[in-house]
């Protein structure tokens, strides 16, 4: 009887654990909406149905070994494809963090992250990643941020980022970034073309990552890049064209680089300046010996030949500029042009003044020189040695006077002719009267006879 009661109690407790318990070795923190699962004690797979709360932020700690993708020991995750992001707290980015044990190794396969498409941030901490096979991140589909902090990364596949899109998502801190910080890339560089699939990425950070080789076209397809950081890496030069076609690029950081200064290798300083791209970090020569510890600009000015500013054009190089023969001719003619302009201005003023004088003479408003009001300006009577010619207006006045005199003479002559005519008429009348009187007298004498 007592044994039956005890068994029923155990079953009840087991039921409570199955309903209300989290997966083995997983603990929940309400403040950060996160679960932490310890790899030393967990039992794989981690099943979503075992979690009391949806794991918005899931941290796997003390990892050392494989994240299996299938039986017998896996898969690592099961049922997470049913998570609805719309139910999450918008203040936290849906994330998966993997933190390895001290000197812990991490083995990944192409199915290690199956069913984890809800994750928007993936971070590895202090892991010696033994391999990154092709398409290993394709299950995430899109990420706001992917990073390797500390540890090392080996055996990177050519198509490691195939099926993955990294760009700034609508999250509290949009980044669109891939970062290797203090994570040593054991092959001295990423495979040629490894970044080709990341066409929408905006930031690439490879800092203190033992990067010795940068392929000239490694950023070729990532045309939306705005920020590239290559600080504290052992490369000593970069190939011409590394930043070509990156029209959105605004910042390049290359602090702590020991540069091998040669004239062909210093191309990027002028290129970045000409394209309004900010360069962070002093470019200091480590070689040649004579310029060790000196800025690359000093080496460039002292050693590198300056390009002929004139090129194929005939001219003279002055500093970094070219004065062509046409420029020289133009500069030579400039003083002459100034003098001619001054002369033209003087003639214009003089002509304008003369026209004003003529206008005043015609209107009779010009003051007569020689009076008390103009004494000392112009002599009253011109010298015999210099008799000025009559102006047009004076000639017009003289002509008018002649016409008036002619008119008066004509009137006088007409009056005289009229007087003579009247006198003749009177004489004729008197003669006629006398004739009439004589005739009457003769007639009268005849009558008397």
Q: Could you state, in order of their start, the residue ranges of all structural domains in the chain?
A: 17-235
User: In the prediction, which pLDDT does 328 show?
Assistant: 75
User: In the prediction, which pLDDT does 4 show?
Assistant: 45
CB 278, CB 254: distance < 8 Å: no
pTM for the structure as a whole: 0.67
Kindly state which CATH superfamily the domain 17-235 is placed in: Ribonuclease Inhibitor (3.80.10.10)
Residue by residue, pLDDT tens for the chain (449 residues) are 444 444 344 433 444 444 457 999 999 999 999 999 999 999 999 999 999 999 999 999 999 999 999 988 889 999 999 898 888 999 999 999 999 999 999 999 989 999 999 999 999 999 999 999 999 999 999 999 999 999 999 999 999 999 999 999 999 999 999 999 999 999 999 999 999 999 999 999 999 999 999 999 999 999 999 999 999 999 999 999 999 989 999 999 999 999 999 999 889 999 999 999 999 999 999 999 999 999 999 999 999 887 666 666 676 666 556 767 667 777 777 787 888 888 888 888 988 888 877 777 777 766 655 544 444 444 444 444 444 454 555 555 566 666 666 666 666 666 665 654 555 555 555 445 444 544 554 344 443 43
User: In the prediction, which pLDDT does 165 show?
Assistant: 98
């Amino acid at each position: 009887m007592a044994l039956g009661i005890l068994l029923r109690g155990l079953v009840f407790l087991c039921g409570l654990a199955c309903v209300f318990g989290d997966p083995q070795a997983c603990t929940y923190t309400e403040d950060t909406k996160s679960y932490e699962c310890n790899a030393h004690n967990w039992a794989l797979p981690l099943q979503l149905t075992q979690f009391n709360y949806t794991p918005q932020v899931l941290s796997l700690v003390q990892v050392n070994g494989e994240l299996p993708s299938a039986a017998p020991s896996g898969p690592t995750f099961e049922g997470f494809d049913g998570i609805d992001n719309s139910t999450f707290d918008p203040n936290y980015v849906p994330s998966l963090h993997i933190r390895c044990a001290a000197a812990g190794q991490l083995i990944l396969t192409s199915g290690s992250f199956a069913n984890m498409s809800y994750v928007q941030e993936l971070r590895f901490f202090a892991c010696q990643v033994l391999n990154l096979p092709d398409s290993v991140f394709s299950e995430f589909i899109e990420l706001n941020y992917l990073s390797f902090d500390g540890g090392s990364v080996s055996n990177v596949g050519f198509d490691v980022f195939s099926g993955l899109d990294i760009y700034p998502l609508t999250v509290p801190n949009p980044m669109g970034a891939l970062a290797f910080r203090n994570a040593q890339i054991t092959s001295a560089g990423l495979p040629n073309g490894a970044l080709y699939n990341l066409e929408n990425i905006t930031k690439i950070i490879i800092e203190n990552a033992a990067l010795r080789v940068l392929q000239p076209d490694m950023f070729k397809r990532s045309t939306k890049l705005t920020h590239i950081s290559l600080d504290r890496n052992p490369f000593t030069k970069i190939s011409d064209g590394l930043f070509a076609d990156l029209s959105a690029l605004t910042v390049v950081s290359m602090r702590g680089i020991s540069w091998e200064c040669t004239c062909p290798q210093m191309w990027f300083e002028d290129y970045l300046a000409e394209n309004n791209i900010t360069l962070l970090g002093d470019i200091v020569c480590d070689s040649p010996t004579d310029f060790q510890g000196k800025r690359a600009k000093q080496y460039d000015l002292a050693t590198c030949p300056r390009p002929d500013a004139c090129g194929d054009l005939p001219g003279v190089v002055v500093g970094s500029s070219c004065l062509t023969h046409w420029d020289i001719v133009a500069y030579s003619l400039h003083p002459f042009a100034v003098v001619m302009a001054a002369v033209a201005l003087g003639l214009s003023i003089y002509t304008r003044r003369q026209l004003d004088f003529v206008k005043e003479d015609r209107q009779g408003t010009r003051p007569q020189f020689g009076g008390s009001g103009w004494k000392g300006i112009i002599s009253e009577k011109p010298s015999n040695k210099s008799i000025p010619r009559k102006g047009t207006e004076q000639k017009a006045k003289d002509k008018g006077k002649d016409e008036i005199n002619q008119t008066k003479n004509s009137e006088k002559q007409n009056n005289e002719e009229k007087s003579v005519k009247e006198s003749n008429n009177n004489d004729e009348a008197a003669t006629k009267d006398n004739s009439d009187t004589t005739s009457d007298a003769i007639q009268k004498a005849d009558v008397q006879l």
